[in-house]
Amino acid sequence: MVLKRKGLVSESAVETFRQSILSTPSFQPHLRQDEPDWSAFVKPLGLAGERVLVLVASLRRLWILPFADVPACADLLIFEHVRLPSYLERFRASADQKGMRLVTLFGLFTRMFLQGNSAFPQNPTHLARLTQQAIELGLHGDRRLDAMLDLLVEDGSARPRAGYNNFDLQDPDLVIRSEHERREGITEGAWKSKHKFEGYRRQVISNPEFHKDWKLLQQHFDVDRFRDSRSILRRSKLPERNWQPPTFPDLDRVAERFQVAFDFFCWKWFLYGMRGDEPLVEKLSHTFTPYGTQIFIPGYWSLDVTRDLEWGTILRLHRARGVARQGEKFSQGRRQKAALLSNLLAANDAATAHRLKGKPRYDLLKKAAGLVADTDDAQVRRMLRQAKAMKSQQG
The predicted pLDDT at position 2 comes to: 45
* Max mean pLDDT range (207-216, 333-342, 369-378): 207-216
CA 111/CA 167 separation, integer angstroms: 8
Domain count, the chain: 3
The predicted pLDDT at position 141 comes to: 67
The predicted pLDDT at position 136 comes to: 92
pLDDT digits (tens, 9 = 90+) for 144-158: 899 999 999 998 888
Q: Which residues contact 242 (CB under 8 A, 6 or more apart)?
A: none
CA 104/CA 157 separation, integer angstroms: 10
pLDDT digits (tens, 9 = 90+) for 79-97: 999 999 999 999 999 999 9
Assign 140 a pLDDT band (cuts: 50, 70, 90): low
pLDDT digits (tens, 9 = 90+) for 9-50: 678 888 888 888 888 776 666 666 788 999 999 999 999 888
* Max mean pLDDT range (43-52, 142-151, 185-194, 198-207): 198-207
Q: Are residues 242 and 341 in the same domain?
A: no
Q: Are residues 24 and 154 in the same domain?
A: yes
Q: Are residues 88 and 227 in the same domain?
A: no
Q: Helices 84-93 and 70-82 meet at what angle, rounded to 10?
A: 40
Instruction: Give the range of the structural domain holding residue 334, as residue numbers without chain letter.
Output: 328-393
How many Cα neighbours within 13 Å face the side chain of 71?
A: 3
Q: Are residues 150 and 18 in the same domain?
A: yes
Assign 322 a pLDDT band (cuts: 50, 70, 90): confident
Within-domain flag for 56: yes
Residue 127 phi/psi, 5° resolution? -70, -35
Q: Are residues 134 and 196 in the same domain?
A: no
pLDDT over 90 for what percent of the chain? 59
pLDDT digits (tens, 9 = 90+) for 242-287: 777 777 889 999 999 999 999 999 999 999 999 999 999 999 999 9
User: In terms of C-beta density within 10 A (0-12 exposed, 13-18 middle, 19 or more buried), how is residue 113 classed?
Assistant: buried
Assign 348 a pLDDT band (cuts: 50, 70, 90): confident
Q: Are residues 207 and 164 in the same domain?
A: no
CA 198/CA 201 separation, integer angstroms: 5
Within-domain flag for 178: no
Q: Are 172 and 320 in contact (CB under 8 A)?
A: yes
Assign 5 a pLDDT band (cuts: 50, 70, 90): low
pLDDT digits (tens, 9 = 90+) for 281-306: 999 999 999 999 999 999 999 999 99
pTM comes to 0.77
pLDDT at 106 over 60: yes
Residue 15 phi/psi, 5° resolution? -65, -40
pLDDT at 329 over 60: no
The predicted pLDDT at position 1 comes to: 44
Q: Are residues 25 and 104 in the same domain?
A: yes
